[in-house]
Structure 1
Amino acid sequence: MPALLRRCSSKSLVDKCKRTSNASELDSLESEAFDDGRSRRKGAGYKRDSQFSLLSDADDGNKDMGLSEKDLQRDEKKKASVTLPQEEVRRSYRKMCNIEGVSPCGRFARQIDDTVADVSHSMLGPRDVKCICVALSTNVTIKDLDLSGNDLSGKGALYLSEALRENTSIDEVTLEECNIDHPGLQALCGVLLDMKPLKSIDLSKNKFGTRQADLIAEVIKKNDYIENLVLSGNEIDNVGGTSIGKALGSNVGLRRLDLSWNHIRLEAASVICSALKLNSTLEELDLSWNGLSEDGCRALGRALPHNHTLQRLDLSSNRISPFALNALVPGLLKNDTLKELRMCMNPLTTVGAIAMLQCFEKAKDTQMKELYLMDIPVNHEFLDALENLKKVRPMKVHHREPNRKKITQIVKDRTLKDYDPAMILFEYMKQENMRLIDLFRTFDTDSSQTVTKDELREGFVTINMPLSDEALESLFERMDLDGSNTIEYDEVKVGYRSTMGKMRCSSRSQAQTRTEEDKTFFLKQLKKLVHKALGDKRKLFEVNAKRRSSDALKERREEKLLELRGKRRQRQISIIAVFEKTLAAEDLKKKILERLEEEK
């Protein structure tokens, strides 16, 4: 209430304030008092200095409130000075905080003398921002103001717009995620349309839609001072994007435009990309996380050859497929200023990435220095294409690492056929705890003190390690040193020494390149295979033995059964014979009796 009474510039408004207790009516009276004070000053021909507007608004009507002459003289001295010392700025800030009934922001008070005032995420509301704006209206040191993460809403944006009208030193303003509504943005755009020399403004994450995009488009079209405009993370759709694209074509001051994380697709994407053909100042454009797709790439490909200022372009995550890339690449190759291109998180595939490198390798006019292809799968063919590109131009390509996961070679499991037959033979002798002479006698089935080729073949079959014809011929030729077509015991001893000494497999080239670990593994595998073959042989022998025993048992059972059947048959025959004899005796008896009766 005291603050509102101080703002009232007429006795009628003062009386209304004293009679009113409703909060909503007080808010309406506050805005009425603000407008009434401004109109009275304009009607009286009052020309305030550009550094005292909000301060004079706060103190307007002091005479009507019956303030002392000492206070009035002090205010006149403040107005007479061109600039206030920073200590006076702090006093005015604290005074305004007392009037509004809010706690001073310590971060802002400590940065009043600095060129950067960062009060982001300080939980400031509209009244806190109003107090800061009063101090800003008389401050000449702060050039960069950051109010990100605070709830400015409409009133806070209105207070800030008034401060920006009167402050000529602020060049950069950051209003990221400040919940600015349409009236607040309208007030800010009104300041910018008055050709306020502001170089950079960040309006990201404020949920701006079509209506707000139209206001921003008007600023882009008419304001030539803004060099950096950030609109990332809003809800600018096709209609709003189309408005911004049309305004971008006539802008002559903007150097960096950030439209990332919006809903720009189809027609809007085409209009924005086509605007590059007319724009002559833009150096950096960020369109990442939108939906350019094939239509936008086609428009961008047509516009880039006519643009001679763009140096950095971000097209990350824009649904650019290899087909869309075909429409974009010709424009990239003909552009003579673009130095940095970001194509991350697009479905380009490895083939598309390789095609881009090959096109840049053959291009003559391009000035590309950096290419970002992160999150796109690459392989060794891509690396080869990159090496060829670096031989032609010093271009840095940022890409993900190729798949370096160790690919295990698919090796067919070894069998006994892959080993030297002589090694198999002597390994069998070792595992069976046989002497060399015992091995020789096993193969010498006819006890002729020599082993023929047929006996060698049958011997390997006997030990369950059959050889192929080629392996048998090779082994026999190596063992038959004198060429007699037979193997003698002395020749077996020589073959045993040479085989166990060299420890080689059938392929000499593989043996030469094999390391010690490979040799150890090689011998272990041979032992396992021979052991398995012997185990299979024993199992087969046991199975055959069981089968033979079962067959013998069946034969004995069948013999017994036949014997029982024979005995039973003989018994039946004897019974039949006895029965027949009995019948014959009875018939004979009947005949005798009949004859006796006849004789009688």
Structure 2
Amino acid sequence: MSALYLDSLSIKEDDLTSSTENVSLEEDLDSDLEPDEKPQNNKPTTTAEVYLEACRLTGVVPVSYFIRHLGTSTMDLNHHGLGPLGCKALAIALVSNYRVKQLDLSHNTFSGRGGEHLGQMLANNEGLETLDLSWNHLRMKGAVAFSAGLKVNITLKHLDLSWNGFGNEGALAMGEALKYNNTLVHLNLNNNRITNEGVGMLCKGLEFNDTLRVLLNVLVNENFVRLLETTCLEHPSLEVHYGGVGGFIAKKPPKRLDPMKVIQDYLDQRKLRLWDFFRNIDKDGTMRVPVADFRKAVQVVCITFIH
């Protein structure tokens, strides 16, 4: 699959203008990883060879850290300044890589073009389980392309897409992806310029999703809360942390406790009369109970009865 992806690689003018010239090697590549030492007249076979060839064709400097950690399950490439072309080279190499399970690519300025490359990679990769793409400026076009890949991905469970400027178009694409994706469990969409309209589109996708358990930090209004309550009835395991109306929903929102019912249950359980309850509050025997004292007594009863 990687070879096919590599064969179809082409560099466009806008790719060249966004080349990541500021990317530098963390240290010199090991001698056995040099491009000129791979077998002549053969297509790349290992992930490292595929990556080095992709870097050569895109004109970017290979990241030695990436090559050295290809055999590990966790990889941290945040703040590497990879840019769209560096993202393209990585995406090509990751298509057939099954060892890397957790990948942090945050703060790399991938832009919309990077979102396209990552979407193609995600549609084919069957190894990644956790992916952090926060702060990469994917924007609407990148969000749409990335969501298309997520739609058919079969392994990813945790995904951080915060601070990427998805907008409502990106929310619509993500909602569509969630209709079909059946592996994602945790999704962070914090700070993506998604309005109430976009959140509504996202929520429609949640109606058809049976695996997502946590959706973080979506700005909503009361209409969304009502729609979410309906969705949570169908999917009781779904948790949504959101702002805008300030709160958190896990399953069906809990009902407010009725203080008088709690007091009555408390008295019935202890075979007491209501008179006994008020007499205990009226320490001075004046037949008048200050509001503050009454509230304190009710709180004590609620805590005692509930626990």
When normalised by structure 2's length, the TM-score is: 0.70
Partner Cα distance (1:133, 1:380) in 2: 65
Pair 1:229 & 2:187 matched: yes
Q: CA deviation at 1:71?
A: 3.3
Q: CA deviation at 1:128?
A: 0.9
Partner Cα distance (2:190, 2:50) in 1: 35
Partner Cα distance (1:146, 1:251) in 2: 25
Pair 1:271 & 2:197 matched: no
Partner Cα distance (1:127, 1:380) in 2: 68
Identify if the C-alpha distance between structure 1 residues 123 and 382 changes in structure 2 by more than 3 Å, giving closer, same or farther. Answer: farther
Alignment of 1:381-420 (within 5 A): 391-392=304-305
Alignment of 1:554-569 (within 5 A): none
Q: Which of the numbers 283, 297, 304 marks the counterpart of 2:252?
A: 304
Identify if the C-alpha distance between structure 1 residues 138 and 381 changes in structure 2 by more than 3 Å, giving closer, same or farther. Answer: farther
Which residue is equivalent to 2:240?
285
> Which amino acid in the other structure matches residue 255 of structure 2?
V
Which residue is equivalent to 1:164?
122
Give the gaps of 5 or more residues in structure 1.
1-49, 60-69, 79-83, 306-327, 335-354, 363-378, 395-600
Q: Please tell me whether the aligned partners of residues 208 and 236 of structure 1 are also in contact (alpha carbons under 8 angstroms).
A: yes
Q: Please tell me whether the aligned partners of residues 239 and 268 of structure 1 are also in contact (alpha carbons under 8 angstroms).
A: no
Ranked by relative contact order (alpha carbons within 8 Å, sequence separation 6 or more), the top structure is 2
> Which amino acid in the other structure matches residue 230 of structure 2?
S
Query: What is the RMSD computed on CA atoms of the aligned residues?
Result: 3.4
Which residue is equivalent to 2:158?
200
Which residue is equivalent to 1:123?
81
Quick check: which one's helix share is greater? 1
Which residue is equivalent to 1:453?
none
Q: CA deviation at 1:179?
A: 0.3
Q: Which of the numbers 38, 54, 72 marks the counterpart of 2:5?
A: 54
Q: Which of the numbers 184, 190, 199 marks the counterpart of 1:241?
A: 199
Q: CA deviation at 1:184?
A: 1.7
Partner Cα distance (1:385, 1:121) in 2: 54
Q: CA deviation at 1:237?
A: 1.3
Partner Cα distance (2:294, 2:74) in 1: 50
Alignment of 1:540-551 (within 5 A): none
Which residue is equivalent to 2:35?
none
Q: Please tell me whether the aligned partners of residues 218 and 247 of structure 1 are also in contact (alpha carbons under 8 angstroms).
A: yes
Give the gaps of 5 or more residues in structure 2.
11-38, 267-291
> Which amino acid in the other structure matches residue 249 of structure 1?
E
Identity of aligned residues (%): 24
Which residue is equivalent to 2:148?
190
Alignment of 1:168-567 (within 5 A): 168-258=126-216, 260=217, 262-282=218-238, 284-287=239-242, 289-291=243-245, 304=252, 329-330=255-256, 391-392=304-305
Q: Which of the numbers 101, 104, 109 marks the counterpart of 1:143?
A: 101
Pair 1:71 & 2:22 matched: no
> Which amino acid in the other structure matches residue 66 of structure 2?
F
Corresponding residue SS for 2:215:
strand
Q: CA deviation at 1:222?
A: 2.4
> Which amino acid in the other structure matches residue 254 of structure 1?
L
> Which amino acid in the other structure matches residue 189 of structure 1?
S
Partner Cα distance (2:175, 2:95) in 1: 27
Corresponding residue SS for 2:103:
strand
Instruction: After superposition, give the CA deviation of every residue in 1:410-443 in whole Å (9 maximum; x if it has no partner).
Output: xxxxxxxxxxxxxxxxxxxxxxxxxxxxxxxxxx
Partner Cα distance (1:222, 1:179) in 2: 25
Aligned residues: 251
Q: Please tell me whether the aligned partners of residues 53 and 137 of structure 1 are also in contact (alpha carbons under 8 angstroms).
A: no
Partner Cα distance (2:113, 2:51) in 1: 18
Which residue is equivalent to 1:112?
70
Instruction: After superposition, give the CA deviation of every residue in 1:377-418 in whole Å (9 maximum; x if it has no partner).
Output: xx9998877765554455xxxxxxxxxxxxxxxxxxxxxxxx
Partner Cα distance (2:143, 2:296) in 1: 50
Q: Please tell me whether the aligned partners of residues 209 and 235 of structure 1 are also in contact (alpha carbons under 8 angstroms).
A: yes
> Which amino acid in the other structure matches residue 83 of structure 2?
G
Identify if the C-alpha distance between structure 1 residues 165 and 226 changes in structure 2 by more than 3 Å, giving closer, same or farther. Answer: same
